[in-house]
Each structure stands twice: as C-alpha cells, then as structure tokens.
Amino acid sequence: MELSARAAGDNGSSLMKILVTGGAGFIGSAFVRLLLSGDDDLSVGNLDALTYAGNLENLSAVDGDPRYRFLHVDLRDAEATARAVEGFEPDAIVHFAAESHVDRSILSPKPVVDTNFTGTFHLLEAARRCQVGRFVHVSTDEVYGSIDAPDDADETWPLHASSPYSASKAGSDLLALSYWTTYKLPVSVTRASNNYGPYQFPEKLIPLMISNALAGESLPVYGDGQQVRDWLYVDDHCRAIRAVLEQGRPGEVYNVGGTADLPNLEVVRRILAATGQPDSLIRYVVDRPGHDRRYAITSEKLMRETGWSPQMGFDEGLASTVAWYRDNAGWVERVRSGAYREWSERNYGRRQAELESL
Ligand code: NAD
Ligand code: TYD
C-alpha cells in the first residue's frame, strides 16, 4: 500500500485515509507528525480518549492542517468505536492506543486489560465490518518476556509475558492476527523495543530520569539496575511502522529493535552526565514484581523485507532528548500536575507498602 502515490482510496475518494489510534500519546503523535510532514495527499484521523497520557499539545505542529482531524473516542466503548470508524471510512488503521506503562498495570490491571485487549477487539470488529484495507497493530517486544544472553528473540520466539501490560499486549497481538487468519482482515503486527525521545510521558525510565535530574530530584532505580533494555529512538520506530504499513505482509509479525542494549544503571549514569548532575542523586528502590531482566530482539526480518534500519545512535538520541526536556520545561510541568502527583506518590512515595499489599 503506497501512501503517497495512491490514485483512489478503497472508499472511492481520491484521498488515502489513515486512522491512527492513540495519536495524542508519545509514539502516536510522532507518527501523525511524520505522516503529515510531507505534502502527501492524505487524510489522517486521530482517535484518542485523551487519558492522562494523551495530550493534544503533542500535536501543535499539525494544528490547522486541513488533512488532520481529531476524534475523541474511548475504545472501551464498542458502539462509539464502531461509529467513529464507519464515519471516517479509513483505508488503513494504525493502532497505537493503549495503557502503556508496566508499573501502572501492576498497581491497576483493569484499565490495561479493558483498553489493550477489549479495546483492540472493538477496533478489530469495527475494521472488519468496514472492510478496512490495512491494519497495523503496534505492539512490544515485552510479549517475549525476559531473554537470556546471548539470545535475541525473532518473531517465532514463544510468548512469555510477565506483567499485566505485556500479557494484555500478547493477547491483543494474537487476537489481531486471528482476524487475518479467520476473516482476512489484512493485519500486520509490529513489536518494538523500548522507545525514547521528545514528548514521552515522564513515567517511563528515560523521561522520568531526565526530568528528575533537571529538577535536582532523586533518580529511583529499581532493584540492582542491571536490567537490560534495547533503546529505539521514536522517529526510527515511526519510520518502521510506516514501512510495515506500506510493505508489510498481512498475517506477519515484525520486530523493531533499537541501537543500544544497555543496563538501566548505565542509562541513568549517562543521563546524570548529560545533565551535569552527580551520581549521588541515584536512589535504589524496591524492585518491580515480575521484573524482566533483559529484552533483546532481532529486526532482521523487517530490514530484509522493507529496507528499514534504525538511524539514530543512542548518544546522539539521548543528547537531543535531554535538550528537548530542558527546552520544554513548561510541557513537563503541565503533564506532571494533578493526577500525575497522585501516581508518583503511589508508585514511589509508598512504593514498599503498595507492592507488599499486592
Ligand atoms: P502513551 O501512553 O504515550 O499513549 C497512549 C495513547 O493512547 C494516549 O494518547 C491515550 O490517550 C490513548 N488511549 C489510552 N487508552 C485509550 C482508550 N481506551 N481509547 C482511546 N485512546 C486511548 O503510549 P506510547 O508509549 O505512545 O505507546 C503507543 C503504543 O506503542 C502502545 O500500543 C504501546 O504498547 C506500544 N509500544 C510502546 C513502547 C514504548 O517504549 N513506549 C515500545 C513498544 C511498543
Ligand atoms: P520502563 O520505562 O517502565 O519500560 P519497560 O518496563 O516497559 O521496559 O522501564 C524501563 C526499565 O527501567 C525497566 O527495567 C524498569 C526500570 N525503571 C527503573 O529502574 N526506575 C523507574 O522509576 C522506572 C519507571 C523504570
């Protein structure tokens, strides 16, 4: 499916219509900005419930672009989802919307299952009824669980999810793929490693540690800090999703890995160096229950089939991310107000007691 050179959409219009879900979040907003960065003849709908993680400020760059439209819809509402999809008549759906944070899924699993599994089901049903021509389900390498060195998981690796978050994603991956096998809805699944970059909600490791370091606050490292993650710059991830949308095969899964396998403590130390703060800000806190020790994947299939490769080196990506958070202190301040403070107190202030009471 070519995005730019398409003469007529399946719905008979001359535009290629792409419905993005979760477009007000971190990765979804980067994807919407990428789609609209050129002068492609596109119509982009952004279906988003605007949870704590959704922020239309992330999309100020496309404000006023006549090709962009916002649809305020909660995927947990099956009828509203069906109406929105029918009304927009997409040629393609790219599904980002999710409850995306492991720690929140441990303390409150219900919204995670409701959105990630049931919400995906509602979207798949709507897509099936409207005979949408392409469906990309955006997932995570966390579905493979912890991988012992020196292995890297490929797409045939068994699913071994450890948290309610990763289990809900694994379930939704299988459900999405079943819609290809059973109904021939042309679904592809992407499984990316840990993302970082501008506009990431400061609850995930990198933006949390950068925001805390810039504010001179302590940096909470879970357990011994030797857990390994494979860091992927958000724009590299978005280019991979566009490649799968255009060239991916239905019924197939594509891993999307990054450029740096690093232990958390090393990442934290590099952030302290980049922000000019001392290592004494590191505070070791109670470990995450069920904490996966190491994520590691190979993206060889995606590279071979689409020619994609990650472009951003980790040091350069981290430096530009630190600069973005330094320059956007107002954004951080706004997203950290209100409900964020309540969450932070629950996960960090009362951490020991909360986790012991599970
Ligand atoms: P995010 O938390 O920043 O954004 C999620 C978006 O989904 C928000 O705009 C939110 O308002 C919206 N949303 C949540 N529940 C909804 C609902 N019920 N109905 C409609 N909209 C809803 O997430 P992110 O980090 O941008 O992740 C996007 C996708 O990428 C997720 O599916 C996630 O599993 C996947 N992923 C993330 C990472 C990562 O490192 N962040 C890595 C691999 C895969
Ligand atoms: P996170 O950004 O939540 O992503 P994920 O759990 O999806 O990999 O966490 C990345 C790593 O950082 C993970 O090993 C947990 C760890 N971590 C901390 O040590 N302290 C923190 O405050 C957070 C949020 C994460």
Mean pLDDT for the stretch of residues 199-218: 97
Q: H-helix or E-strand containing 316?
A: helix 314-327
In a domain, 9, yes or no: no
Buried b (16+ CB within 10 A) or exposed e, 117-146: bbbbbbbbbbbbebebbbbbbbbbbbbbbb
Mean pLDDT for the stretch of residues 295-302: 98
Residue whose CA is at the smallest distance from ligand 2 atom 14: 227
In a domain, 221, yes or no: no
Strand partners, 221: 284
In a domain, 50, yes or no: yes
User: Whose atoms come closest to the Cα of 226: which ligand?
Assistant: 2
Count of domains forming the chain: 1
In contact, 97 and 150? CB cutoff 8 Å: no
In contact, 168 and 121? CB cutoff 8 Å: no
> For residue 189, is pLDDT > 70?
yes
Domain membership of residue 156 as a residue range: 16-196+233-258+294-311
In a domain, 20, yes or no: yes
Mean pLDDT for the stretch of residues 332-344: 86
* CATH code, domain with 244: 3.40.50.720
| Separation of alpha carbons 358 and 354, rounded Å | 7
Residue 13: predicted pLDDT? 53
Residue whose CA is at the smallest distance from ligand 2 atom 17: 205
In this predicted model, what pLDDT tens digit does every residue of 104-146 receive, in sequence order? 999 999 999 999 999 999 999 999 999 999 999 999 999 999 9
Mean pLDDT for the stretch of residues 35-41: 93
In a domain, 128, yes or no: yes
* Binding-site residues, ligand 2, Cβ < 6 A: 102, 142, 194, 204-205, 208, 220-222, 227, 229, 264, 288
Mean pLDDT for the stretch of residues 329-342: 88
> For residue 8, is pLDDT > 50?
no
- Structural tokens at position 204: 């995930």
Residue 169 Cβ contacting ligand 1 at under 6 Å: yes
In this predicted model, what pLDDT tens digit does every residue of 245-281 receive, in sequence order? 999 999 999 999 998 999 999 999 999 999 999 999 9
- DSSP conformation class of 155: T
In a domain, 35, yes or no: yes
Mean pLDDT computed over every residue of the chain: 95
pTM, two decimal places: 0.96
- Structural tokens at position 107: 């303390």
In a domain, 118, yes or no: yes
In a domain, 283, yes or no: no
| Separation of alpha carbons 86 and 273, rounded Å | 51
Mean pLDDT for the stretch of residues 343-349: 88
Q: How open is the CA angle 296-245-241, to the nearest 5 degrees? A: 35
Q: What values do phi and psi take at 174, rounded to 5?
A: -65, -40
